[in-house]
C-alpha cells in the first residue's frame, strides 16, 4: 500500500498548486460570488447566530468568494491562502480585509484558542494528501476556542462526482454562435486536457474509506481527495472534535447520523465542534 500511495501523496500538492495559480484559474476564482450550493448556505446559517461578532479564520479564501458571506457574520475576520496569486487577487477585490499568505497545514502564526469559527470551504481540504489532511484538522482544532466550530466541505467517495471521466467542458447554451465559440475553445484546450487526464489519472488511488482521483476541473489538471461520511467522522473524533458533527449535503439535505444513502451527494459540509 505504501508504494502505491506515494506518487499521488507526494505529487498532488505540486499538481494542484500549479493549477490554482494559472491566470485562467485566478481569474475564475476572483469572479466567484455567493454560495456554492444549498448545503453550504444551510450550514453557515446554522452557525451564524452563535458566532456573530466573534473571531473567524477563513482558510483557502481563494479569490474572495467567502469574504462577504463571513464578514456579514463578523468583522473580526482573517483570511489566508497558500497561493500568492490568489491572495493578490483577493486583496485587490477587498483592500480593507486582512488577507495573508498562509498554509492551513501550519497555523503557527495564530495562538491556541484564537477563533470561534474556522472555515475551509469549496472542498479546499481535498487538495492535499491524507497525512496533510489530518494536519489541517489538528491545526484547526488547536486554534479554535472551546466549543468553537470548524465548517468545511469535502468530496463524497460514494457520490456522483467520484471518478470523473474525460470531459471537453462545453457549457450548453441556446445561442448557436456562443455554442460554436465555446466548442472551438474546448477543442483548442482538448490536447492539454487529454494530456492531463492521461498523466494524472495514472495516479488514481482507491483505499479503504477514501481515494485520490483525477478530477475534471481545471482541464483535468488536479488530483482530489474523496472520503466517505463515516471515515470523515472518524478523523474528526480522532483529533478531538465531538463525535457527532452536523452534516449537510450539497443538495441541502441533512445527515443526522453516520449512516444512510449518500449516493446522490457530491460533497458534504461538516459543522464540527471542538470538545
Nearest CA to 122 out of 180, 175, 60, 69 is that of 60
Whether 166 shows a pLDDT value over 80: the answer reads no
Q: Which residue has the higher pLDDT, 261 or 173?
A: 261
Which parts of the chain fold into alpha helices (H)? 2-20, 23-31, 38-51, 66-71, 84-93, 130-143, 176-200, 217-220, 229-239
Confidence of residue 256 (pLDDT cuts 50, 70, 90): confident
In the Cβ-directed half-sphere of 194, how many Cα atoms lie within 13 Å? 6
Dist. CA 270–CA 174, nearest whole Å: 37
Q: Which domains does the chain have, with CATH numbers?
A: 2-164+225-273 (3.40.50.150)
**CA quadruple 190, 194, 199, 205: dihedral positive or negative?**
positive
Buried b (16+ CB within 10 A) or exposed e, 29-47: bbeeeebbbebbbbbbebb
Nearest 5°: the CA angle 255, 215, 117 is 45
Q: Which residue has the higher pLDDT, 97 or 258?
A: 97
Least confident range of 74-83, 199-208, 244-253, 257-266 = 257-266
Whether 146 shows a pLDDT value over 90: the answer reads yes
Cell numbers linked to 52: 456573530
Confidence of residue 258 (pLDDT cuts 50, 70, 90): low
What is the model's pLDDT at position 194?
85
Q: Mean pLDDT, to the nearest integer, of 82-102?
A: 98
What is the model's pLDDT at position 5?
46
Nearest 5°: the CA angle 24, 30, 35 is 120
Average per-residue pLDDT in the chain?
91
Q: Which helix (H) or strand (E) holds 149?
A: strand 144-156
Whether 171 shows a pLDDT value over 60: the answer reads no
Least confident range of 107-111, 174-178, 194-198, 241-245 = 174-178
What is the model's pLDDT at position 165?
77
Interval 26-82: pLDDT, tens: 999 999 999 999 999 999 999 999 999 999 999 999 999 999 999 999 999 999 999
Least confident range of 122-136, 173-187, 226-240 = 173-187
Whether 8 shows a pLDDT value over 90: the answer reads no
Dist. CA 273–CA 149, nearest whole Å: 4
Dist. CA 102–CA 259, nearest whole Å: 35
Nearest 5°: the CA angle 195, 209, 219 is 20
Phi, psi of 75 (to 5 degrees): -85, -10
Whether 185 shows a pLDDT value over 70: the answer reads no
Amino acid at each position: 500500500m505504501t508504494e502505491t500511495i506515494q506518487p499521488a501523496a507526494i505529487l498532488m500538492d505540486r499538481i494542484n498548486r500549479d493549477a490554482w495559480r494559472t491566470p485562467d484559474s485566478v481569474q475564475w476564482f476572483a469572479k466567484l460570488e455567493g454560495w456554492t450550493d444549498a448545503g453550504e448556505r444551510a450550514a453557515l446559517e446554522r452557525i451564524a447566530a452563535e458566532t456573530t461578532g466573534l473571531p473567524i479564520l477563513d482558510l483557502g479564501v481563494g479569490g474572495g468568494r467567502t469574504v462577504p458571506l463571513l464578514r456579514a457574520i463578523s468583522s473580526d475576520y482573517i483570511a489566508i491562502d497558500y497561493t500568492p496569486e490568489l491572495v493578490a487577487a483577493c486583496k485587490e477585490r477587498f483592500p480593507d480585509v486582512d488577507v495573508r499568505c498562509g498554509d492551513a497545514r501550519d497555523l503557527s502564526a495564530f495562538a491556541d484558542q484564537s477563533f470561534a469559527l474556522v472555515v475551509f470551504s469549496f472542498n479546499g481540504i481535498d487538495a492535499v494528501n491524507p497525512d496533510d489532511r489530518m494536519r489541517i484538522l489538528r491545526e484547526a482544532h488547536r486554534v479554535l476556542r472551546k466549543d468553537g466550530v470548524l465548517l468545511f466541505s469535502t468530496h463524497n467517495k460514494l457520490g456522483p462526482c467520484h471518478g470523473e471521466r474525460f470531459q471537453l467542458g462545453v457549457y450548453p447554451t441556446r445561442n448557436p454562435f456562443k455554442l460554436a465559440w465555446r466548442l472551438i475553445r474546448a477543442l483548442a484546450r482538448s490536447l492539454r486536457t487529454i494530456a492531463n487526464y492521461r498523466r494524472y489519472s495514472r495516479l488514481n488511488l482507491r483505499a479503504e474509506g477514501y481515494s485520490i482521483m483525477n478530477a475534471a476541473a481545471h482541464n483535468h489538471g488536479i488530483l482530489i481527495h474523496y472520503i466517505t461520511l463515516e471515515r470523515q467522522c472518524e478523523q474528526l473524533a480522532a483529533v478531538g472534535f465531538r463525535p457527532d458533527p452536523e452534516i449537510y449535503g450539497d443538495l441541502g439535505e441533512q445527515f443526522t447520523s453516520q449512516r444512510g444513502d449518500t449516493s446522490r451527494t457530491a460533497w458534504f459540509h461538516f459543522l464540527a465542534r471542538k470538545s
